[in-house]
Amino acid sequence: MEQFQALAHPWWVNLLIMVPAAAYFLWRRDGLEITLGRKLVIAAFALTFGFVEAAVVVYLRAALGLLPGFKSGTLAEVQRLSAGYQQVLSLTRFPPSLFAIELLREAATMLMLVLTALLAAPRTRERLASFLWAFAVWDLAYYASLWATVRWPTSLKEIDILFLIPVPWVAQVWYPLLVSALTLLAVSLTKTRAGRPAAG
């Protein structure tokens, strides 16, 4: 069984835990002009995108020969055998021919979440809140989808590679889940204020 690891690597990834509190502190006085309906639309996009991202990761694991049982023909067999999967192995087994594509895929993922936020709100503070909201829902949906399809992670102490840009970010699964949950809490607890009246 894995040992609990309090710190992510590199060191600056640990600073992400402060983002939800800092964002809430910035928004708490004036509130946000984001309606519940808009949050739900952003969440619906992020949920579906999280599943797509998880499916891509499953396909990559299978293509690299890192997904036990994928040739058996049943998802149940993959789920049964996935307990031995170690995400960190993908760093050493990832072929250089695909590494550039993987970096571009990660960059495209972030760009899609940023563009969603730009479309969702006209002002910078609401755009930031929309991005953080979308990112948090996407991240939680990603891990939930991985677990639902291939039963990984088997524990919150599994080591994961969070991102590769600009260097690999490595942490136990509990860390991104905690940051995402706190982010959703920060956005949810910020009061919603009425939008500015339209200029006439």
Residue 10 lies in a domain: no
In a domain, residue 134? The reply is yes
Tens digits of per-residue pLDDT, 58-69?
888 887 777 777
Domain with 139 in it: 33-189
194 belongs to a structural domain: no
- 14 in a structural domain: no
**Residue 183 pLDDT grade (very low, low, confident, very high; cuts 50, 70, 90):** very high
- Per the domain annotation, does 198 fall within a domain? no
- Tell me whether residue 16 is in a domain: no
Q: How many domains does the chain fold into? A: 1
Instruction: List, for residues 95-120, the tens digit of each pLDDT value.
Output: 888 888 889 999 999 999 999 999 99
d(CA 88, CA 100): 18
Residue 79 CB burial class (10 angstroms; 0-12, 13-18, ≥19): middle
